Amino acid sequence: MNDTDPEPPARGFEKTEYEQRCTLIQKHMRDQEIDVLWLSTHADILYLTGFLTQFWQSPTRPWYLLLPRSGKPVAVIPSIGEACMQRTWVDDIRTWPSPDPFDDGVSLLVDAVRELAGPTPHIGVPMSSESYVRSTLQDQSAIRSALAGAHWVDATPCIRPVRHIKSASEISKLEFVCNVVSRAFASVPEIIQTGMTEAQAFRAFKVACLTQGADDCAYLVGAASANGYNDIISPPSDTVILEGNVLILDTGCTFDGYYADFNRNFAFTRLDDATRDAHQRVWDATEAGLECVRPGAPCSDVFHAMQRHLLNTDSGECETASVGRMGHGLGIELTETPSIAAFDDTRLQEGMVITLEPSISYASGKMMVHEENVVVTDSGYRLLSQRASRDMPIIN
Amino acid sequence: MNDTDPEPPARGFEKTEYEQRCTLIQKHMRDQEIDVLWLSTHADILYLTGFLTQFWQSPTRPWYLLLPRSGKPVAVIPSIGEACMQRTWVDDIRTWPSPDPFDDGVSLLVDAVRELAGPTPHIGVPMSSESYVRSTLQDQSAIRSALAGAHWVDATPCIRPVRHIKSASEISKLEFVCNVVSRAFASVPEIIQTGMTEAQAFRAFKVACLTQGADDCAYLVGAASANGYNDIISPPSDTVILEGNVLILDTGCTFDGYYADFNRNFAFTRLDDATRDAHQRVWDATEAGLECVRPGAPCSDVFHAMQRHLLNTDSGECETASVGRMGHGLGIELTETPSIAAFDDTRLQEGMVITLEPSISYASGKMMVHEENVVVTDSGYRLLSQRASRDMPIIN
């Protein structure tokens, strides 16, 4: 970072912020008659505790958090994480030396559930779309058997609406990391040239993101090929970038656990008309979507505004790409709910952070994808990413 | 990379390597009377197909692979991944536009299972330790209901022993990325100094790993503090590194999807006796473990050799840290089975790649951890990481 770059926001959150998150979720728990939440994933545990670690990349050990109907969460975790959890606001930390093939936290968890919620608890577990339980099927079965008197309830509706609304502190982290990525994209004409392989170009961009202030650039997908691309989730190859190629870089960078997620497209030396037009069309579709972003608007309205623009044949024939949606929530996961999709009528609220990501298929199967990150304000939206130019930049 | 650095190995694998992996797993399937495997995680799908993408970081969409008792695997995946999967050796790719809240691949999967294995199939799913199913509980329930005639069997014993043994091509990728990390660690005295924050030091090290040839350095944990550390899984803080501090960096870097996983410890300006001795003790314990590494030796023997050394009171009082084990398998996951642990009697075989990672608790709660990566050869082992020096390096 140079001297003119903004200072990063403070890491972590005040204890009151975690208290508010728990209180809001506990209100939903009472409405749903849930006695205790059983959480097992990186994002849910991070959200309620501040327990931030890349150790989740190791699939070996299970990590559990229980949230009773009132009071603070209780951590049931491997002892290797005790010191890290002790630095959070959680007081009640129960540990065991994991991995233990005979009892990998199962009896500790079962005892804690009984203690917090009695012998016939209503236990909330995330069960709906975009969730999973990070526990072996054998352990899940053992836990259900040991808690034979329990009722199991989908906890997704307790957690999701609370996580949807980002606090001012969360938004400051998201805005910072979006600025980092905007600066990294602005540097692309200086760091990526024809003659580099995709792998070299990706590496240069990752270094730029780190240098600009990202903690990590663990998500970078894309492709470079002649007259567009047809794959937006692949790692880089050893293919050399040539004149006439189009490069898409789509990145999820993090600061203090919060993601930026947007892409940019670059042409090298020259740009054919179809690709130039496709970029303008997804840019214009984003503009049409942005005009709908305000509190109270359903996500499906934003989707339809973008789709109407993309399918308007006055701008030439094309198809929308079948990637299921045109944007999503953003926060402590690379992609969160809600979906900017025809099926999602979730109403936007102040504090939601979303991506708008229209994509089309054009000119014999090539794709064009464009993405911006925005926060919903009291009257509309504020861009977190620096708006791309309507004309795809050409690197000479 | 400079001109003297080794060329990276070719990306991907020959089709015959995937055929061999499937054939070996299918032999276990026949032994266990399993008709079809249902796989859902990054590692299992990558192993059988070569489908490499960071898109797994998005929790939104489920991805499924079916392996029948003979023949090639069948992919049942979101259409956003079709182009990426088409570049693998898989021919039969069935897609749907995901996310779809009404049927997110469930009916497509159920139909494929019936087609491959009939109306009363024996379906193998990983159920044991270190596994999970990446599918919502609601979808798992719907799939089980739709396949009411099925028997569900733990598939862990089909897959695990095959993944344990790395091919020559896999070992060449692991060796390359271990060399990359060894060079990055060798550069630490030039890139990290007192006065930097932990966050700045971590960033400098990540840039070094990328510059040396890693595709990613998405796992970097550690800490710097006075006279040792007590937390080995945390992200960096804004704490400034001071004279007398000890810094541990533990990294999982990847090349073409394969991980290096080892740490190094560094003192700044000076090193107290207890910390110096602790480093020598875990280094010596590693040496004792290495002497046991050969085909036929149980993992538990390697563990006990290290533990005996650590607990030998001739070298001073200490306790082994309760992190559950002292090493693990390494490959397409940061940590794989087997465990170097008292409970794991898995016998080492030629081609296994493991970490040795003894750790102790010493001097009022501080920890010392040391790690090396090795491949088991026909007569013993070969180090993949460049062996650390017995004396902790002191950066002036």
Write the pLDDT tens digit of every residue in A351-360. Answer: 999 999 999 9
CB contact B328 to A (< 8 Å)? yes
Secondary structure string (H, E, C) spanning chain A: CCCCCCCCCCCCCCHHHHHHHHHHHHHHHHHCCCCEEEECCHHHHHHHHCCCCHHHHCCCCCCEEEEECCCCCEEEEEHHHHHHHHCCCCCCEEEECCCCCCCCCHHHHHHHHHHHHCCCCEEEECCCCCCCCCCCHHHHHHHHHHCCCCEEEECHHHHHHHHHECCHHHHHHHHHHHHHHHHHHHCHHHHCCCCCEHHHHHHHHHHHHHHHCCCEEEEEEEEEEECCECCCCCCCCCCECCCCEEEEEEEEEEECCEEEEEEEEEEECCCCHHHHHHHHHHHHHHHHHHCCCCCCCEHHHHHHHHHHHHHCHHHCCCEECCCCCCEEECCCCCCEEEECCCCCCCECCCCEEEEECCEEEECCCEEEECCEEEEECCCCEEECCCCCCCCCCEEC
Rounded to a whole number of angstroms, the distance from the CA of B125 to the nearest CA of chain A is 9
Nearest chain A alpha carbon to B217: A218
Rounded to a whole number of angstroms, the distance from the CA of B281 to the nearest CA of chain A is 20
Across-strand partners of B220? B251
Location of structure tokens 């620096």 = A386
Across-strand partners of B211? none
Query: What local confidence, expressed as pLDDT, does residue A2 receive?
Result: 47
Please give the interface size between A and B, counted as residue pairs whose CB atoms are below 8 Å apart.
214
CB contact B103 to A (< 8 Å)? no
Q: Do B211 and A207 touch (CB under 8 A)?
A: yes
Q: What are the chain A neighbours of B323 within 8 Å (beta carbons)?
A: 78-80, 97
Nearest chain A alpha carbon to B230: A83
Write the pLDDT tens digit of every residue in A238-272. Answer: 899 999 999 999 999 999 999 999 999 999 999 99
Strands A93-96 and A216-226: unpaired
Write the pLDDT tens digit of every residue in B249-279. Answer: 999 999 999 999 999 999 999 999 999 999 9
Nearest chain A alpha carbon to B10: A238
Interface test with A, best of B42, B96, B130, B196 (most A CBs within 10 A): B130
Nearest chain A alpha carbon to B140: A127
At the top level of CATH, the class of B165-395 is alpha beta
Rounded to a whole number of angstroms, the distance from the CA of B135 to the nearest CA of chain A is 6
Nearest residue, CB atoms, A218 vs list B131, B211, B218:
B218
Q: What are the chain B neighbours of A211 within 8 Å (beta carbons)?
A: 203, 207
The Cα B174–Cα B192 span in angstroms is: 26
Q: Do B129 and A137 touch (CB under 8 A)?
A: no
The Cα A168–Cα B115 span in angstroms is: 52
Interface test with B, best of A132, A160, A357 (most B CBs within 10 A): A132
Q: What are the chain B neighbours of A61 within 8 Å (beta carbons)?
A: 324
Query: What local confidence, expressed as pLDDT, does residue B35 receive?
Result: 98
Nearest chain B alpha carbon to A136: B132
Q: Do B79 and A323 touch (CB under 8 A)?
A: yes
The ipTM is 0.95
Q: Do B84 and A207 touch (CB under 8 A)?
A: no
Query: Which of helix, strand or coil describes residue B175?
Result: helix
Dihedral angle, C-alpha B336, B339, B343, B348, nearest 10 °: 110
Nearest chain B alpha carbon to A221: B54
Note the Cα B266 to chain centre separation in Å.
Answer: 24
- Contact residues for B16 (Cβ-Cβ < 8 A; gap 6+): none
Contact B199, B247 (CB under 8 A): no
The Cα A310–Cα A288 span in angstroms is: 10
Nearest chain B alpha carbon to A230: B83
Query: What local confidence, expressed as pLDDT, does residue A230 receive?
Result: 82
The domain segmentation of chain A, as residue ranges, is 15-163, 165-395
Rounded to a whole number of angstroms, the distance from the CA of B287 to the nearest CA of chain A is 24
Nearest residue, CB atoms, A235 vs list B53, B61, B206:
B53
Q: Do B127 and A138 touch (CB under 8 A)?
A: yes
With pLDDT > 70 as the criterion, what percentage of chain B qualifies? 96
CB contact B264 to A (< 8 Å)? no
Interface test with B, best of A233, A303, A337 (most B CBs within 10 A): A233
Per-residue pLDDT of chain A (396 residues; tens, 9 = 90+): 444 567 899 999 999 999 999 999 999 999 999 999 999 999 999 999 999 999 999 999 999 999 999 999 999 999 999 999 999 999 999 999 999 999 999 999 999 999 999 999 999 999 999 999 999 999 999 999 999 999 999 999 999 999 999 999 999 999 999 999 999 999 999 999 999 999 999 999 999 999 999 999 989 998 888 877 888 888 898 899 999 999 999 999 999 999 999 999 999 999 999 999 999 999 999 999 999 999 999 999 999 999 999 987 665 666 666 667 999 999 999 999 999 999 999 999 999 999 999 999 888 788 999 999 999 999 999 999 999 999 999 998
Rounded to a whole number of angstroms, the distance from the CA of A85 to the nearest CA of chain B is 9
Q: Do B234 and A97 touch (CB under 8 A)?
A: no
Q: Is residue B318 over pLDDT 60?
A: yes
pTM of this structure: 0.96
Contact A106, B253 (CB under 8 A): no
Write the pLDDT tens digit of every residue in A319-371. Answer: 666 667 999 999 999 999 999 999 999 999 999 999 999 999 888 788 999 99
Contact A393, A279 (CB under 8 A): no
Rounded to a whole number of angstroms, the distance from the CA of A128 to the nearest CA of chain B is 6
Computed over every residue of chain A, the mean pLDDT equals: 94
pLDDT (average), residues B97-101: 94
Model confidence at B360, pLDDT cuts 50, 70, 90, reads very high
CA distances (Å), origin A317, targets A265, A284, A307, B320? 21, 15, 13, 68
Q: Do B101 and A334 touch (CB under 8 A)?
A: no
Dihedral angle, C-alpha B170, B171, B177, B183, nearest 10 °: -170
Q: Which of B104, B107, B115 has its CA nearest to residue B74? A: B115
Q: What are the chain A neighbours of B339 within 8 Å (beta carbons)?
A: 60, 99
Across-strand partners of A38? A66
Nearest residue, CB atoms, A220 vs list B54, B126, B252:
B54
Rounded to a whole number of angstroms, the distance from the CA of B137 to the nearest CA of chain A is 5
CB contact B333 to A (< 8 Å)? yes
- Contact residues for B137 (Cβ-Cβ < 8 A; gap 6+): A125, A126, A127, A131, A132, A133, A154
CB contact A61 to B (< 8 Å)? yes
Query: What local confidence, expressed as pLDDT, does residue A324 receive?
Result: 78
The CATH classification of domain A15-163, taken from the options 3.30.930.10, 3.60.20.10, 3.40.350.10, 3.40.50.720? 3.40.350.10
